[in-house]
């Protein structure tokens, strides 16, 4: 009962098509079920009637499909529909012999994102620790605050935040490095796609937007943390990250985008490309 038989591309147009003939029995069976259910809400008699109707529906349905499915014939057209396109012009991006290019044509390698992220991490840490040293006479202050985002027990005094805590240092370092690398990778992926001024977007606009978002919601999410944060300095360290990471990323060499599907690159047999084009057409 596979559809092999139906899928005959050489069948002539204008033939008669066999389609399943219309039947009421499935609807009758459904009505039977519905009445049986309605009977549970009112009287048993209705249920019995529904069940009887269901049995009748089943029998009717049975004789629709057995011993042979009932069909009816429908007249088809003489000619099949013609498929044509109104617009003949198709613009393509031609790249050195590759007829359809994958965009963007050039990307930064993954290493560029990691380098940018790490450089940005150093710049951001420097800015933040400068703030700690200037405002609270302790470089540990911003580190402890960052660590406290995920690891803090109680409300603590400013003096305690200024002290050195090894566990908070570890937590903050892991958080800082991971996030920086991820954001760096994001920069590496997005910057080549921006039409112009990538540094402006990555170095100023993104930090501004991120700071604005945090500024507006942190009071709700974590009011305690919010009290301890100096927003101008926060913005400054974000901008430091954005500028440095962006500058480092754009200074890396770009590599051309792979233009062939993964399966082809991996040397896997792809039925469409390999067999049917003939070797001369296939991109090598």
- Restricted to residues 43-102, the positions that interact with another protein (CB under 8 A) are 43, 61-62, 64-65, 67, 70-77, 79-87, 90-91, 99-100
Does residue 94 contact residue 101 with C-beta atoms inside 8 Å? yes
Q: Tell me the closest approach of the beta carbon of residue 154 to another protein, in angstroms.
A: 16
Residue 19 near another protein by CB under 8 A: yes
Q: Tell me the closest approach of the beta carbon of residue 9 to another protein, in angstroms.
A: 5
Footprint of another protein on 156-175 (CB under 8 A): none
Footprint of another protein on 214-253 (CB under 8 A): 220-221
Cα 114 from chain centroid? 22
Q: Tell me the closest approach of the beta carbon of residue 270 to another protein, in angstroms.
A: 7
Q: Tell me the closest approach of the beta carbon of residue 227 to another protein, in angstroms.
A: 19
Instruction: Label the pairing between strands 106-107 and 71-75.
Output: unpaired
- For residue 84, the 8-state DSSP code is -
Give how many residues touch another protein by CB under 8 A: 72
Cβ distance to another protein smaller for residue 86 or 157: 86
Alpha helices (H) in the chain, listed in sequence order: 25-41, 44-65, 110-131, 140-148, 158-162, 166-190, 198-200, 206-221, 223-228, 231-251, 262-265, 276
Residue 17 near another protein by CB under 8 A: yes
Q: Tell me the closest approach of the beta carbon of residue 235 to another protein, in angstroms.
A: 23
Among 155, 157, 216, 281, which residue interacts with another protein (rule: CB under 8 A)? 281
Cβ distance to another protein smaller for residue 38 or 118: 38
CA–CA separation, 192 and 102 (whole Å) = 13
Q: Tell me the closest approach of the beta carbon of residue 211 to another protein, in angstroms.
A: 18
Does residue 117 contact residue 178 with C-beta atoms inside 8 Å? no
Does residue 146 contact residue 121 with C-beta atoms inside 8 Å? no
From 134-142, 231-239, 247-255, 276-284, span contacting another protein (CB under 8 A): 276-284
CA–CA separation, 119 and 180 (whole Å) = 9
CA–CA separation, 202 and 183 (whole Å) = 10
């Amino acid at each position: 009962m596979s559809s092999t038989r139906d899928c005959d591309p050489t069948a002539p147009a204008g033939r008669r098509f066999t389609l399943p003939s219309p039947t009421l029995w499935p609807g009758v069976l459904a009505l039977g079920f519905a009445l049986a259910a309605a009977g549970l809400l009112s009287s048993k008699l209705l249920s019995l009637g529904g069940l009887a109707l269901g049995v009748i529906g089943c029998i009717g349905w049975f004789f629709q499909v057995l011993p042979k499915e009932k069909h009816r014939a429908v007249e088809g057209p003489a000619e099949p529909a013609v498929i044509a396109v109104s617009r003949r012009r198709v613009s393509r991006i031609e790249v050195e012999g590759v007829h359809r290019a994958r965009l963007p044509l050039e990307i930064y390698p993954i290493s560029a994102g990691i380098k940018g992220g790490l450089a940005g991490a150093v710049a951001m840490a420097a800015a933040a620790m400068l703030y700690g040293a200037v405002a609270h006479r302790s470089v540990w202050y911003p580190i402890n605050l960052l660590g406290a985002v995920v690891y803090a027990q109680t409300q603590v005094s400013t003096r305690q935040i200024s002290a050195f805590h090894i566990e908070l240092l570890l937590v903050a370092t892991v958080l800082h490095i991971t996030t920086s690398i991820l954001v760096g990778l994001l920069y590496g992926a997005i910057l080549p796609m921006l039409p112009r001024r990538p540094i402006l977007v990555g170095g100023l606009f993104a930090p501004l937007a991120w700071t604005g978002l945090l500024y507006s919601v942190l009071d709700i999410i974590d009011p305690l943390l919010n009290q301890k944060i100096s927003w101008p300095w926060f913005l400054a360290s974000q901008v430091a990250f954005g500028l440095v990471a962006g500058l480092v990323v754009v200074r890396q060499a770009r590599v051309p985008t792979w233009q062939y599907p993964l399966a082809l690159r991996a040397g896997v047999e792809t039925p469409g490309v390999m067999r049917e084009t003939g070797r001369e057409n296939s991109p090598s």
